[in-house]
């Protein structure tokens, strides 16, 4: 079993150390020194150039180290039968939950105003609602959205979730499917989007959806930039219908220097780093799937090609 790591900006030595510790018998080659491509069974990679995967004729599966599957699925050269394994790991979910919690709390407790008060030397009490009266809607209840919803429940917020199929998470009011979308939006004072980018989610948060949110709602997006129609978001904030947004992902990344988001006083941004995939945890899904292959069992955490995520 040979695995090729595609070295991007990632600390490759950490990945190698994790594989060596957890599956020493694995032969790991590092891109671009992959030798005979026909010998490679598994590809463990960050974003990879279009057409590149197809040049490995005997792959058993591909695992993306960090990115969502959307870019890989867009590659027409990838055989439909090639399993794509999602990079699920607990640290990814906890760091994502921390990023979302930070923005929820920052907004709910008006910490930006407190920072401005301090800068002005002003002692200013600012009232805030008890968490149970703040209604948060989490779009996407998968590995990441599920962890976020549970963390918000733990802080006492009023949490609802929206997914394609019904999901049952303790303390979370569940909404599923397009027919329940407007109802879900209408009860979301803070909307958290952690959906994958698929044909169904492309531009989902457009003027109509944003208008369905309660007046003064706040939008947080750490799923994919394509979920939001950016001009519609700007318009909704400009009109006062929305109070602002916290964004980690954008349609074009890096965000172009002249983009209106940069200087917007009601938009807070991070450069697509809301969650972190540690090498130690990320190799587990690869190792588990190699063991499954060897045991003739079905692979775990694979992408549903038809659903697009």
107, 108, 167, 272: the active-site residue: 272
The reply to whether 165 belongs to the active site is no
In the three-class reduction of DSSP (H, G, I as helix; E, B as strand; rest coil), residue 69 is classed as coil
Nearest residue (CB) to ligand NDP, 40 versus 100: 100
Which is closer to ligand NDP, CB of 6 or CB of 224? 224
- Measured between alpha carbons, how far is 292 from 284 in angstroms, rounded to an integer? 12
- Provide the minimum distance between the beta carbon of 275 and ligand NDP in the complex, in angstroms, as a whole number: 5
226 belongs to the binding site for ligand NDP (CB under 6 A)? no
If one asks whether residue 165 binds ligand NDP (CB under 6 A), the answer comes out as yes
The least CB distance from residue 138 to ligand NDP, in Å, is 9
Phi-psi group of 47: left, alpha or beta (phi > 0 → left; psi -120 to 50 → alpha; rest → beta): beta
Pick the piece of the chain touching ligand NDP (CB under 6 A) from 71-79, 149-157, 191-199, 239-247: 191-199
Q: Is 272 a catalytic residue?
A: yes
CA separation for the pair 186, 10 (Å, rounded)? 41
Binding residue (CB under 6 A) for ligand NDP from 201, 268, 282, 289? 201
Q: Which strand (E) or helix (H) includes residue 28? A: strand 27-30
Question: In angstroms, rounded to a whole number, what is the distance separating the alpha carbons of residues 35 and 37?
Answer: 6
Q: Which of 249, 285, 286, 290 binds ligand NDP (CB under 6 A)?
A: 249
Q: What 3-state DSSP class applies to 112?
A: helix
Distance CA 126, CA 109 (A): 8
CB of 36 to ligand NDP, least distance (A): 32
Query: Which of 137, 145, 158, 244: binder of ligand NDP (CB under 6 A)?
Result: 145
In 58-105, which ranges are E strands? 61-64, 84-85
**Cα–Cα distance for residue pair 109/39, rounded to 1 Å:** 56
Pairing of strands 27-30, 42-45: unpaired
Nearer to ligand NDP, 158 or 223 (CB): 223
Binding interface with ligand NDP (CB under 6 A): 68, 140-145, 162-165, 167, 194-198, 200-201, 222-224, 248-249, 272, 274-275, 309
């Amino acid at each position: 079993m040979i695995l090729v790591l595609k070295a991007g900006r990632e600390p490759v030595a950490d990945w190698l150390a994790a594989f060596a510790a957890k599956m020493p018998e694995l032969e790991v080659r590092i891109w671009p020194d992959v030798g005979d491509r026909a010998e490679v069974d598994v590809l463990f990679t960050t974003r990879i150039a279009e057409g590149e995967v197809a040049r490995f004729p005997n792959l058993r599966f591909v695992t993306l180290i960090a990115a969502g599957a959307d870019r890989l699925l867009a590659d027409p050269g990838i055989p439909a039968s090639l399993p794509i394994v999602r990079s699920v790991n607990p640290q990814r979910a906890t760091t994502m939950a921390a990023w979302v919690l930070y923005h929820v709390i920052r907004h709910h407790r008006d910490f930006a105003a407190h920072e401005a008060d301090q800068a002005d030397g002003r002692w200013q009490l600012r009232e805030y609602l008890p968490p149970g009266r703040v209604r948060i809607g989490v779009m996407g209840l998968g590995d990441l959205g599920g962890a976020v919803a549970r963390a918000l429940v733990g802080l006492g917020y009023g949490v609802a979730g929206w997914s394609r199929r019904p999901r049952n998470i303790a303390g979370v009011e569940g909404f599923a499917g397009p027919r329940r979308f407007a109802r879900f939006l209408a009860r979301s004072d803070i909307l958290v989007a952690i959906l994958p980018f698929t044909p169904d989610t492309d531009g989902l948060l457009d003027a109509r959806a944003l208008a369905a949110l309660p007046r003064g709602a706040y939008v947080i997006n750490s799923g994919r930039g394509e979920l939001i129609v950016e001009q519609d978001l700007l318009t909704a904030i400009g009109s006062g219908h929305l109070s602002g947004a916290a964004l980690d992902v954008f349609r074009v990344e890096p965000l172009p220097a002249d983009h209106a988001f940069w200087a917007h006083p009601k938009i807070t941004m991070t450069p697509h780093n809301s969650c972190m995939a540690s090498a130690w945890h990320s190799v587990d899904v690869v190792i588990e799937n190699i063991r499954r292959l060897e045991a003739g069992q079905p692979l775990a955490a694979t992408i549903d090609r038809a659903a697009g995520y």
